[in-house]
Amino acid sequence: MCKRLERLLAFHSAPALCGIKASNLINLSKSDVSNLIDEINILNESHNPKMYFTFLKESNDNALLLVYKRKTLEEHLFKEENIKFLESIGYERSNNIFDYIDELKYRINNNDIFPHEIGVFLGYDLLDTLEFISGNKKPILKGLWNVYSKEEEKQIIFDTYTRCRDCVLRLVNKGFSLENFMK
């Protein structure tokens, strides 16, 4: 993996790579990483079925990438409250995580409005996702996402994700391979 991609993944997806967050979403510029598609395909070949790098949308210039450990995303997404919410907005119930990701990908590519239910895929609290979608409330905390409840608890989560990112990035900058965090 090229060093530029390794640093971008470390900075933008360390919590998902380490399995402490359901997933991370990264908007990558294709000009920043030569052979981006090939690089991601190689990562998938060597790390599936544990770790996934899924393009949700691509253009000539950019690629929207969802990074996740399958088990971690399944544990969050398959909570009954999350499944019921997704069903309520038109997702078909399935035992296969890829069915949900395919539907999300379809919605990202075929709607004028970005599907804010992506918060459920990213591991955000369902209440925060619902409040964000409704737009009726002002957030009590803005951090990695807009928070509408449990401010102190969410601040601890933000701090944990930031420490994880900083630690992984520091190790990658010292020459450690990001591949070690994907095991």
What is the tens place of the pLDDT at every residue in 53-98? 999 999 999 999 999 999 999 999 999 999 999 999 999 999 999 9
Cβ atoms of 64 and 58 closer than 8 Å: yes
**CA-wise closest residue to 121 among 83, 176, 152:** 83
Per the domain annotation, does 68 fall within a domain? yes
Mean pLDDT for all residues in the chain: 94
Q: Burial of 90 by CB count in 10 Å (0-12 exposed, 13-18 middle, 19+ buried)? A: exposed
Which pTM does this prediction carry? 0.94
Per the domain annotation, does 178 fall within a domain? no
Cβ atoms of 17 and 182 closer than 8 Å: yes
Per the domain annotation, does 126 fall within a domain? yes
Residue with token string 């399944």: 74
| Segment holding 161, helix H or strand E | helix 151-173
Number of domains in the chain: 1
Per the domain annotation, does 181 fall within a domain? no
Per the domain annotation, does 17 fall within a domain? yes
Flag whether pLDDT at 25 surpasses 90.
yes
| Dihedral (CA of 156, 75, 18, 115) sign | negative
Per the domain annotation, does 135 fall within a domain? yes
Angstrom distance (rounded) from CA 70 to CA 86: 18
Residue with token string 């395919």: 102
Can you give the residue range of the structural domain that contains 65? 3-172
